[in-house]
């Protein structure tokens, strides 16, 4: 037989595009359109409905960037359409390739009740099925003219990312506003042909099944009268019945489709627009659930549910009903889909506390899965947190974006730093915006790496990023793929149903130990420095506020600020969303974030100061309040007392320029260029700086990645580096314990203070940068005389190790990584820590010296600033302040302690007497991360702590109040049934901890 395959496939494409799809709406009449453009920010629905409108024609330009226009459309259904299905086609000027990335709308009835959302892939509103004819139609559209930021030529700098710079040029052209007859038979034919055509394209060219489909499609197209598609579509469908009813083979891959709309809580739009995006999407999804009995929709991010509840009560009522029916599913159990690399220990825990509690309080639903499809890698401390929150599964897709190494599993056990294992799934469909295309379904089946051992995977199905959700077309395709020869089998299921099946069929999956590092988007650890600093500062202020408010509540009857702390925590958690904290959102988002963090700092400082004043009482004794989990200046952790007097630091000029700082523990040599050429540990008789090298070396790189400007730094950035050694001045500081260094480069200026505090073995480096560079990357280097094959990097509730070498491509790919408060490198018996107050990105490299002693130089470089131009063309321009410290002779315990110290500045005030802590630990390896009152208002004291050195410990906790009862709880402060109760003797509690083990105790006060 002659091969006519390509001929028929080309025929199918043209006939579908030019004849059959247009016939879905065979008749239409125009609607009358009028509009009111809101003058500023979005207005309440009732105001938009009541506004005075003016006529507008299709073809008119509308919509200033970030504006809101209220369209009113009116018309009459023709009598001749009686008995037929009629829909309104409302095209605001959509580009169908940009669902979620451009203009959108929410349709209302005149009474203000929502109908559904409009987006480029969802432009219809059902009027009647069937209609009687003569119905009056009146609809209102709240249309958002969100500008296109990520265009066909992506990553071009644009001022559209902030309403303050976006201008007023109309963004869109009103394209179509019609009433139209909807021919469901033709639409079903389109679905038949799309599914079969897409399946056919994925089958082997020599397979019999492909040719069975080809011949059936050819026959169907023969039946279609191109001048009467609507009259012949039914007969054409009959030709396809056989190939559509042929069942899948028994070994077919099985896909659990989960209706989904991955809505970024902020990204290329501000937070206020996400509130509306969620309302539009949930309106669509509740409507689709009513029409499609098998469809199931899952939505994560408790914050987004709260937005619907608080801002769109009419939509919320529909959502609550759908949840009660079990088909609109709360997913993930987190406040937002946060970054997981940078949030601190308590913040990561509170993501689950606030997320899970919201779903429990509102719906009685307990989430057992963490749902993070788009997060940029996963810290090694996360499995323990997931388990401690009462969950046991994790879903993500993002690791498939890794550029260098292909992850070897799709379903596996992920083991964290403490040994906790979490059953984890990466959907092999490789998208969190699956649209049920044949290529996606085929890719999922072919790509699945656990064949022969498992056969289930999950497909998050629906338009996301900017929202929209699942469409009726996706549901129709899934119905045809439920049991279709040549395809994977598709069924709508909840995340829980999928995980239960996947876990049951794969009882012993492979294990991956350590962080899930994303080999992409590494620059998100540095971009938008002030957002990151705001997050870090907020986390520590919250620790202080809870600690001192709880202490004051127990000691002095201070009113514990439950509501304020709850609100502030949720605001901080929101800003940990995976495009806000990583610095990959538009300028508007980060401008608002800076203002928000400043406001929160004021509120938290007021709580702290009020509680400390209540504790201190009236008096003239100087008290140091120690918020850190370790003793400080002679003051016990969590208490307040007069600080101990320490030694002195001397400063002397060096003969060849520069200065020497010496405090009897550490002697630091700073040369005439302001570089640290020696940091000598006097006690250990050991030099820290590699011979012939220098620390405190600022280095500047060009930074123009191949794409994803704010997100990425590509390895070739290292090929070119400029050492910033020129100085304007190197002078003594005013108090005689520091040296001031001033440099200028490009259009920028740096002022540094190098301080050696009395009685402490650490060199503090305060860096102020007035940054005005473009597409540059600024690093601060410490070159160490240290031989270490690995280094410790703080993460949630412990630390993880990374190699300093690049033996394999997996190690080489980690050329930029994340740490929290410290990095630690060690030879047996002696180590060095580099601690910070607000930076996350860093790199560690090693080389063997070819001159002199031929020893190993290990270089730690902390990342300070970048200057990408997309999506914020003014990223990080302005003044920034950073604090780092070099700690020679540091053990891992010293690194932990110094990391806390640099992030919790001293607070001093005068008072009457010392303040005893609520709880203390007698072993520095036990770090108390939270002391607070229980969230339920009972007055119980909650103490959370973990082992921080990576060893087994036995310790005693001592409470400063009488304890009537003790309970081991999960993160939500609920009793753990299988937890052993620690030994208690009065106010002394004996605990034994595994390496990095996390424990929460609830203490009932007598």
> Which residues are known to be catalytic?
374
Q: How far apart, in whole angstroms, are the C-alpha atoms of residue 158 and residue 165?
A: 9
Task: Give the Å distances, CA to CA, from 824 to 208, 340, 504, 762, 798.
Answer: 62, 21, 41, 14, 12
SS3 993: strand
Contacts of 545 (CB under 8 A, 6+ apart): 561, 565, 568, 604, 607, 608, 611
Contacts of 293 (CB under 8 A, 6+ apart): none
Q: Read off the tokens for 12.
A: 């199918």
Task: Give the Å distances, CA to CA, from 946 to 351, 772, 929.
Answer: 18, 42, 8
Lookup result for tokens 């579509």: 233
Q: Are strands 697-702 and 722-724 parallel, antiparallel or unpaired?
A: antiparallel
Q: How far from the centroid of its chain's Cα atoms is residue 627's Cα? A: 28
Q: How far apart, in whole angstroms, are the C-alpha atoms of residue 96 and residue 440?
A: 19
Q: Read off the tokens for 244.
A: 């559509």
Choose among 242, 190, 214: nearest CA to 476.
Answer: 190
Q: Read off the tokens for 756.
A: 């050696």
Do the beta carbons of residue 359 and residue 330 sit within 8 Å?
A: yes
Q: Read off the tokens for 662.
A: 């010496």
Q: How far apart, in whole angstroms, are the C-alpha atoms of residue 765 and residue 661?
A: 13
Q: Read off the tokens for 222.
A: 């023969």
Cα dihedral value 493, 495, 499, 502, nearest 10: 40
Strands (E), 643-775: 650-653, 659-662, 666-670, 676-681, 686-687, 697-702, 722-724, 729-732, 738-745, 748-755, 763-771
Lookup result for tokens 């440099």: 743
Total residue count of the chain as it appears in this document: 1006
Q: Read off the tokens for 58.
A: 């299709």
Q: How far apart, in whole angstroms, are the C-alpha atoms of residue 264 and residue 579?
A: 8
Q: Read off the tokens for 83.
A: 């008995």
Q: How far apart, in whole angstroms, are the C-alpha atoms of residue 594 and residue 600?
A: 10
Strands (E), 156-309: 172-173, 176-181, 254-259, 297-299
Strands (E), 221-262: 254-259
Q: How far apart, in whole angstroms, are the C-alpha atoms of residue 159 and residue 161?
A: 5
Do the beta carbons of residue 109 and residue 141 sit within 8 Å?
A: no
Choose among 564, 775, 761, 589: nearest CA to 682.
Answer: 761
Cα dihedral value 954, 958, 962, 968, nearest 10: -40
130: cis peptide before it, omega within 30°? yes
Q: Are strands 456-461 and 254-259 parallel, antiparallel or unpaired?
A: parallel
Choose among 219, 98, 94: nearest CA to 149.
Answer: 98
Q: How far apart, in whole angstroms, are the C-alpha atoms of residue 48 and residue 246?
A: 52
Q: How far apart, in whole angstroms, are the C-alpha atoms of residue 360 and residue 389?
A: 13
Do the beta carbons of residue 773 and residue 866 sit within 8 Å?
A: no
């Amino acid at each position: 037989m002659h091969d006519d395959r390509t001929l028929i496939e080309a025929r199918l494409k043209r006939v579908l595009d030019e004849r059959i799809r247009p016939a879905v709406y065979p008749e239409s009449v125009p609607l009358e359109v009028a509009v009111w453009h809101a003058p500023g920010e979005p207005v309440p629905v009732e105001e938009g409905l009541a506004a005075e409108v003016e006529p507008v024609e299709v073809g008119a330009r509308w919509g200033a960037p970030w504006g809101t226009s209220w369209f009113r459309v009116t018309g009459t259904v023709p009598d001749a359409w009686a008995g037929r299905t009629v829909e309104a086609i409302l095209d605001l000027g959509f580009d169908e390739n940009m669902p979620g990335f451009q203009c959108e709308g929410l349709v209302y009835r005149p009474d203000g009740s929502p109908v559904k959302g409009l987006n480029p892939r969802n432009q219809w509103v059902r009027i009647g099925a069937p209609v009687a004819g003569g119905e009056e139609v009146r609809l209102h559209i709240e249309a958002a003219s969100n500008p296109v930021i990520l265009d066909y030529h992506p990553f071009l700098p644009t001022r559209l990312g902030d309403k303050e710079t976006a201008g007023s040029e109309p963004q869109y052209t009103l394209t179509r506003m019609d009433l139209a007859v909807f021919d469901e038979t033709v639409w079903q034919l389109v679905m038949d042909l799309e599914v079969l055509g897409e399946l056919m394209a994925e089958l082997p060219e020599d397979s019999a099944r492909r040719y069975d489909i080809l011949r059936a499609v050819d026959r169907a197209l023969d039946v279609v009268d191109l001048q009467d598609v609507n009259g012949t579509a039914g007969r054409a469908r009959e030709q396809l019945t056989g190939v559509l009813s042929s069942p899948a083979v028994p070994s077919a891959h099985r896909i659990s489709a989960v209706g989904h709309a991955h809505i970024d809580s902020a990204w290329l739009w501000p937070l206020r627009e996400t509130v509306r995006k969620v309302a539009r999407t949930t309106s669509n999804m509740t409507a689709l659930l009513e029409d499609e009995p098998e469809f199931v929709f899952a939505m994560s991010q408790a914050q987004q549910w709260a937005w619907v509840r608080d801002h769109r009560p009419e939509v919320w009522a529909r959502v609550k009903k759908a949840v009660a029916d079990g088909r609109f599913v709360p997913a993930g159990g987190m406040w937002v889909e946060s970054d997981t690399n940078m949030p601190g220990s308590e913040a990561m825990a509170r993501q689950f506390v606030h997320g899970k509690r919201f779903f429990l309080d509102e719906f009685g639903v307990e989430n057992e899965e963490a749902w993070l499809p788009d997060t940029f890698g996963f810290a090694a401390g996360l499995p323990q947190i997931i388990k401690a929150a009462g969950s046991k599964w994790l879903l993500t897709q993002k690791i498939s974006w890794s550029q260098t190494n292909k992850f070897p599993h799709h379903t596996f056990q992920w083991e964290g730093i403490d040994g906790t294992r979490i059953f984890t799934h990466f959907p092999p469909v490789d998208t969190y915006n699956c649209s049920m295309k044949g290529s996606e379904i085929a890719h999922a089946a072919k790509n699945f790496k656990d064949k022969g051992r498992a056969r289930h995977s999950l497909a998050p199905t629906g338009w996301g990023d900017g929202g929209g959700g699942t469409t009726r077309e996706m549901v129709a395709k899934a119905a045809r793929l439920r049991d279709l020869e040549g395809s994977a089998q598709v069924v709508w299921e909840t995340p829980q149903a999928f995980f239960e099946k996947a876990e049951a069929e794969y009882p012993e999956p492979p294990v991956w130990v350590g962080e899930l590092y994303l080999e992409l988007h590494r620059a998100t650890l540095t971009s938008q420095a002030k957002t990151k600093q705001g997050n870090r500062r907020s986390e520590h202020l919250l620790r202080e506020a809870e600690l001192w408010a709880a202490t004051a509540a127990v000691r002095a009857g201070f009113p514990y600020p439950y509501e304020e702390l709850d609100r502030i925590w949720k605001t901080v958690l929101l800003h940990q969303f995976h495009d806000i904290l990583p610095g990959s959102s538009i300028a508007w988002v980060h401008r608002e974030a800076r203002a928000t963090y400043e406001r929160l700092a004021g509120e938290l400082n007021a709580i702290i100061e009020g509680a400390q004043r209540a504790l201190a009482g009236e008096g003239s004794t100087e008290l140091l309040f120690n918020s850190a989990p370790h003793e400080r200046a002679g003051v016990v952790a969590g208490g307040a007392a007069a600080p101990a007097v320490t030694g002195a630091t001397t400063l002397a000029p060096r003969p060849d320029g520069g200065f020497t700082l010496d405090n009897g523990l550490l002697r630091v040599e700073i040369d005439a260029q302001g570089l640290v050429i020696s940091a000598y540990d006097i006690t250990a008789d050991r030099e820290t700086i590699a011979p012939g090298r220098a620390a405190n070396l600022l280095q500047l790189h060009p930074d123009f990645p191949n794409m994803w400007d704010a997100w990425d730094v590509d390895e070739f950035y290292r090929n070119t580096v400029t050492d910033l050694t020129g100085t304007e001045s190197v002078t003594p500081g005013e108090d005689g314990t520091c040296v001031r260094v001033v440099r200028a480069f490009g259009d920028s200026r740096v002022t540094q203070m190098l301080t050696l505090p009395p009685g402490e073995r650490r060199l503090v480096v305060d860096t102020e940068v007035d940054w005005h560079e473009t597409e540059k990357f600024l690093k601060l280097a410490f070159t160490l005389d240290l031989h270490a094959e690995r280094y410790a990097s703080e993460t949630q509730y412990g630390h993880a190790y990374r190699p300093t070498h690049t033996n394999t491509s997996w190690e080489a790919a980690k050329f930029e990584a994340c740490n929290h408060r410290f990095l630690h490198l060690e030879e047996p018996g002696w180590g060095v820590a580099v601690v910070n107050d607000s930076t996350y990105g860093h790199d560690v490299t090693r080389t063997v010296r070819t001159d002199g002693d031929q020893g190993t130089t290990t270089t730690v470089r902390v990342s300070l600033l970048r200057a990408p131009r997309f999506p914020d063309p003014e990223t990080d321009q302005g003044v920034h302040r950073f604090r780092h410290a070099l700690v020679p002779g540091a053990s891992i315990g010293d690194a932990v302690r110094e990391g806390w110290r640099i992030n919790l500045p001293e607070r001093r005030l005068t008072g009457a007497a010392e303040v005893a802590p609520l709880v203390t630990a007698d072993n520095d390896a036990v770090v108390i991360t939270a002391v607070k009152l229980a969230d339920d208002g009972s007055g119980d004291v909650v103490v959370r702590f973990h082992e921080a050195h990576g060893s087994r410990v036995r310790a005693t906790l001592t409470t400063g109040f009488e304890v009537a009862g003790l309970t081991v709880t999960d993160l939500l402060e609920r009793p753990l049934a299988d937890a052993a109760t620690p030994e208690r003797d009065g106010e002394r509690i004996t605990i034994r901890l595994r390496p990095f083990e996390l424990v929460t105790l609830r203490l009932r006060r007598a």
